[in-house]
Each structure stands twice: as structure tokens, then as C-alpha cells.
A and B are shown apart, each in its own frame.
Chain A
Amino acid sequence: MEKDEALIFDYLLQYIAPEISNILFKVSKEKKRNIEEIRLRNNFPLMVYCEGGDYYVSKNGELTQNEKDVFIVNKKLLFKTFQLVSNYSVYAFEEEIRSGFITLKGGHRVGIAGKTIYGSNGVETIKDISSLNIRVAREKIGVSDKIMKYLIKQPDSIYHTLIVSPPQCGKTTLLRDIARNISDGIPEMNFKGKKVGIVDERSEIAGVYSGIPQKSIGKRTDILDGCLKKDGIIMLIRAMSPEIIVTDELGGEEDIKAIYEALKAGVILISTVHGKDLEDIMTKNNLGELIERKVFERIIILDNSKGVGTIRNILDGHAFTSVIH
């Protein structure tokens, strides 16, 4: 059974200072289901991002675009929320804070911005928090069911796949669900589950919270949480013998090197990248080369023309023609 999405939102409220959460609690159920981000900024109105636009929140919990009578967040409330998010234990989240976000139970993420303090090993901590961005993690089990038939290479393999999408269009959600389908197997299509390794650099795919993935990612899945892609891909190949490696947000030169490494080892790759369409990613360094070399056999292009996570096209990576019929 899928949980009511509005309840997920209410669950998140316990991590927000009571002065703010009392207001957010009053937001209508309909809206609660769709809120993607809650944004707190020092001395600016409380805002939520919902259904593709941002709204102020009035003191009665109504979402509005009118700047009158909105709730203003102050420094004290930000600090309180930060305390709750870090479970009063900044020292326990040093690593996370250094990378700019904290993962909550349930896989929700809280992005942090403020004054960064540099130490001998790069960013040491963030203090004087100026903004918090609470991203509601929505798990959409089954979003990939319809497209799995395009990704399965008969009889018993998977195509190298790249998901191309602008931000906030559901690429991580889709990626996660593809991983789940591959890992669990699809009996109706006679597809047996395969060993999947996830390199979850930003704890977004599996949302691991103290060692337990908070999302359904399949029963044959191993996760390297908080690990850089360049290290993680090699570590997984060495240690966990995955058949498929799933990672998020390709880009860096090092990542690409690791990918060639994985290809050498005969591992199948599924990944995502920020971009509008194929032309857009062709212009990117490193990545363009991967496409030209036809490493990826299937390219899924997402947008939000018909709501978040619309699959605009699935291309064949050799001929660059659509495979949807």
C-alpha cells in the first residue's frame, strides 16, 4: 500500500521549528501532496515550491503569490530548524554538513547555505545558516514499469542507459525505480533480477539513513552511500561484482574515466545527466564524447510538459532515433 503523500509532508514537519510547522500544518491536503520543497531564508518569506511554481505561505497556511500577510522567517527560527534537522547534533553530521546537506529519515534532504568555514581539508563547516531547503522525497514506485520494455535487451540483459532531464523533472525518481525493477526482476517479462550496485554520491537515490535505505531499490541492490562516483564505481566492481551500476548526475572528467573502467569490466551502466535534450548534452565536455562513442544504447529524455516526469522520448544511442512505438 502506498502511504498518503500528505502524511509524508506532515511527518517532515517535526523537523521544522514549531512556529513554522504549525503554519505549514494548516496547508490544505491537496497542496501537501504536491509540495516538493520548503524553503526557509533569513528575513524572507516562507516559501514552498509546488506544481512547478513557488508560493508564499500566509499566516493561515494558504499558498499565495501575494506578498501581503506572508510569514517571515527569522534567524532564530532557522537556527531552531537546523537544530531539529541535525537532531541537536551538529558534531554527528560534520561530513554531511561539509557537503552541504543532511539526509533525514525517509530519504528527505535538507540543503544548507550559510557562511562556509575553510579548514586544511577544504570546507570544514557551515555556520550562520542563511537558508535551508527541505526537499520532500517522493517515491513513485512503478514510474518505470512502462518503459522497462525499451530497456531490456533480449533475452536477458539491459541496455546502457542515460536519462537526460532538466532539474526537478524526476530523473532520480525514475532512475531509482529502474534500479528497483532490474534488481527485483520482472516476472511478466520473463526478466530475472540482477545484481545492482548503486553509487549514491548525494544520498538521493536510496536515501540511506543510518545504514538502511529508505526507498525501495530492490532486493539485489548494494549501495555505496556518500561515495564519489570515481571511487565508488571501481570499489563496487572490485568488491560487489555488480552486473549493473546505477549512479546519478554524470559530469566530471573523473566520472567518465571510471565509466570506461566499468565498461572494461563488462558492467552495464545506468545514469542520469542534467540537460534539456540531446543537443544540449552533446555540447558538454566529456559527456559529449561518451555519446559520440555510442556508449549509451538508450537515452531517455524527460521534461515536465505534462507534469513532473513526463517521458518525452527514448532514443536509440546508435542511430539517435526514437524507439517508442
Chain B
Amino acid sequence: MIILKIIGCTLIVLSSSLIGYIYGKSYKERLENLIYLENCIKILETEIMYGANPLPEALENVYKKGNKKVSFIFNRISQALKEHKSGEVLECFLMVSDTMKKNLNFKKEDIEVFTNLGRTIGSSNRKDQEKSFKLILAQIKALQKEARLEKEKNEKMFKNLGFLSGLAIVIILL
């Protein structure tokens, strides 16, 4: 009987810790992905400013050169541009916003900054493109700062909270 109790208790503690861990991890991932995203956008900037590659190719190159964990969204945009032929870049950027939210732990404001890129990219000459890249990179830097703060604050807290709430449940049950 005691053995059963012990097993039950450990299960409760383990699962609640796991929940805490998962919650905490989403903060870490957001920061990581923001850093990858920044790198990808920097690659895109080079592709456009120095390579002068057409947008669909430039996006594909970003996918190849960047960290695949994030850069796959650029490939999707590129494919959408090639297939749809609708003349709407923003539309193609908006298509990936769901994936960004669900799979990459991005927050709403991160996605907004990214899709804003879809409004300006490609539709002006190099000088103006440079300006909009500068703006977006600055915005992402700010988001990273915020994500880092949040991560420091919350990651540990959720982990501890998970473990401790598990313990609490066990104590109450006992």
C-alpha cells in the first residue's frame, strides 16, 4: 500500500514539475527564436542590399543560410510568393503568423513586427529598404531585451512553482 502511495506521490510531483518546466521553457524559446529571427533578417538584408536578389530567391537563401528552426518560415513565404502570384507580399507574410505563434512561441507583438516587414519589403529602392531593415532590427532588439527580462523573471519561477505545487498537492493528499 505504501509503495503505491509513494509511486502516486512521485507521479504527481513529476507531472506538476513538468508542467512548470514546459511553461518556463516557452520563455526561453521565445528569446532564442527572436535571436534566430534577427539573424535571418540580417541575412535577408544582405541578400537584398548587396546581392540584389529578387525577393523569392532572397527568402529561399535565408532559409538555406539561417537556422532552420526559424528560417523555415522564410521558405514558406517564398513558396507562397511563387505559387500564388497574387502580387501581395503582406498576405504571404500573414500566412505564417499562425505557425509563428503555435510552434515558435512568439508573442503577438513579435509577429506584428515581423509581418510589418511584409508591408515594406521589396516595394521600394535600396535606400528605403535599408531604412526599414534598420527599424525592424531595432524593434527586434527591443523585443529581445524584453524577452530576456521576462525569461529571467519567469523561467525559474514557473519551474519552482511546478515542483512546489506538486509537493503541496502531495502534502494535502497525505
Contact = CB atoms under 8 A, between A and B. Distances in A.
A90 B87 contact: no
A89 interface: yes
Q: Name, among B49, B85, B86, the residue most crowded by chain A CB atoms within 10 Å (CB to CB).
A: B85
Contact of B89 (A83, A94, A127): A83
A239 interface: no
B126 A83 contact: no
A81 B55 contact: no
B103 interface: no
A17 B124 contact: no
Contact of B55 (A14, A18, A87, A97): A87
Given A88-B54, A88-B56, A80 B122 contact: no
Interface string B23-54: 00000000000000000000000001100111
Contacts of B87: 17-18, 79-84
Nearest to A21: B85
A92 interface: yes
B123 A90 contact: yes
A240 to B, nearest CB: 26
Nearest to B51: A92
Contact of A89 (B55, B86, B88): B55
Contacts of B58: 89
B81 A88 contact: yes
Contacts of A86: 122
A192 to B, nearest CB: 41
A100 to B, nearest CB: 15
A91 B85 contact: no
A80 B85 CA distance: 9
A120 to B, nearest CB: 12
Contacts of B88: 80, 83
Query: Chain B's interface: helix, strand, loop or mixed, by majority?
Result: loop
A125 interface: yes
B78 to A, nearest CB: 10
Interface in B119-143: 121-126, 129
A84 B53 CA distance: 15
Given A18-B86, A84-B87, A94 B54 contact: no
Contacts of A97: 125
B57 to A, nearest CB: 9
Interface string A46-79: 0000000000000000000000000000000001
Contacts of A83: 87-89, 122-123
A84 B88 CA distance: 9
Contacts of A94: 125-126
A76 to B, nearest CB: 9
A5 interface: no
A79 B124 CA distance: 12
B87 to A, nearest CB: 3
Interface in A181-222: none
Contact of B86 (A80, A91, A125, A127): A80
Contact of A88 (B49, B89, B125, B126): B89
In the A-B complex, list the 9 residue pairs whose CB atoms are closest, starting with the nearest: A80-B87, A88-B55, A88-B122, A87-B54, A89-B54, A83-B87, A91-B126, A89-B55, A92-B52
18 contacts: A17-B87, A80-B86, A82-B87, A83-B87, A83-B89, A86-B122, A88-B123, A89-B53, A89-B58, A90-B122, A90-B124, A91-B49, A91-B122, A91-B124, A91-B126, A91-B129, A92-B53, A125-B125
Interface of B: 48-49, 52-56, 58, 81, 85-89, 121-126, 129
Given A83-B89, A86-B122, A90-B122, 10 more contacts: A18-B86, A83-B122, A84-B87, A87-B54, A87-B55, A88-B56, A89-B53, A89-B122, A91-B124, A124-B125
